Amino acid sequence: MSTTTTPIRSSTGAADGPAPVKGPVPEGEGRIGLRANLRHIGALARRNALQIKQDPESMFDAVFAPVIFILLFVYVFGGAIAGKGNNDAYVNYVTPGLMAMMGMNIAMAVGVGINDDIKKGVMDRFRTMPIARSSVLIAKIVVEIGRMLIATAILLGMGFLLGLEIHTSFLHLCAAIGLSMAFGASLMWIFILLGLTLKTAQAVQGMAMMVLMPLQFGSSIFAPPTSMPGWLQTFTDYNPLSNLADAARNLVNGGPVAHSVWMTLGWAVAITVVTAPLAVARFRNRT
């Protein structure tokens, strides 16, 4: 159906231009409801999952990294830390800590993927669609949580083969996995923000390593902090990865968990509250 506009004429009779015609707001330009937002997240998550199916090599880090890390740390450092012949005891110490490390490594891949999508123009296409900007980022996180679950399952499977024992219950193990997922999801917002801010994927990886290395090795993931210098012990006490590793370790092996669990959840909420709005705003401006 065509629309006819009538020129507005001034007092001199000259046409000044077409009169504005009021009409309905195009569909998708208003506020998007919760149901539509969830539908968009589901569609975008499916798109990201299909990308992984078409590129199986993108799963290499989730599949092989847990195997390499647990073998490396148990057989290279286990004897030195737990004592010769006590590798089984070290398996129970390091495996819950490696769950925290897996979350950080998977989170780093999110930022690299976002940066790559921007370079390929994928985000420009999303911009033309009537979807919430946050749904694009949340869909990324949903799929990466799935990859994190796969990496954690492989890590635990290797741990059981090497002698890991659950001294509490299966529910406690599930709680440790859920806590690792929650904290890993919060870290993804940091790396999404890096991916949206830095110009290249190499820069994202370089910045991520500068963040990852001190947090991972300056924690209780691999060794008890009692053997560290005083200043490093102070850093370790405030390191959120130490809280996560201690919480997961005590949930698996038994021990007090309240303080470390609440500290981990507090860190996860604080990181998400601060970085998620910044990431969404940066994504909106960048695209």
pLDDT digits (tens, 9 = 90+) for 84-93: 666 778 899 9
By three-state DSSP, how is residue 15 classified?
strand
- Render pLDDT for 163-176 as a digit per residue (tens, 0 to 9): 899 999 999 999 99
Q: How confident is the model at residue 82, as a pLDDT? A: 65
Q: How confident is the model at residue 7, as a pLDDT? A: 44
The residue assigned the tokens 């090795």 is 217
Q: Is the dihedral of CA 184, 114, 286, 207 positive or negative?
A: positive
pLDDT of residue 216 exceeding 90: no
Q: How confident is the model at residue 27, as a pLDDT? A: 41
Q: How confident is the model at residue 243, as a pLDDT? A: 93
- Residue 220 CB contacts under 8 Å (≥ 6 apart), including other chains: 97, 236, 242, 245, 246
Query: What would you report as the CA-atom Rg of the chain, rounded to the nearest whole angstrom?
Result: 25
What angle, 0 to 180 degrees and rounded to 10, lies between the N-to-C axes of helices 240-253 and 258-286? 130
Number of H helices, E strands in the chain: 11, 2
Confidence (pTM):
0.80
pLDDT of residue 211 exceeding 70: yes
Provide the pLDDT confidence category of residue 287 given band limits of 50, 70 and 90: low
Q: Which of 13-17, 45-49, 239-243, 250-254 has the weakest average pLDDT?
A: 13-17
Cβ atoms of 221 and 99 within 8 Å: the answer is no
Name the E strands within the chain: 7-9, 15-18
pLDDT of residue 15 exceeding 70: no
- Render pLDDT for 40-83 as a digit per residue (tens, 0 to 9): 888 888 888 888 888 888 888 889 999 999 998 888 877 677 66
Please, what is the average pLDDT of the chain?
82
Rounded to an integer, what distance in angstroms lies between the CA atom of residue 270 and that of residue 275?
8
Q: What are the residue boundaries of the structural domains of the chain, listed by start? A: 35-47+57-286
- Render pLDDT for 270-279 as a digit per residue (tens, 0 to 9): 999 999 999 9
- Render pLDDT for 104-115 as a digit per residue (tens, 0 to 9): 888 888 888 888
Q: How confident is the model at residue 85, as a pLDDT? A: 63
pLDDT cut 90: percent of the chain above it = 35
pLDDT of residue 200 exceeding 70: yes
Rounded to an integer, what distance in angstroms lies between the CA atom of residue 54 and that of residue 50?
6
CA angle 181, 184, 189 (to 5 degrees): 130
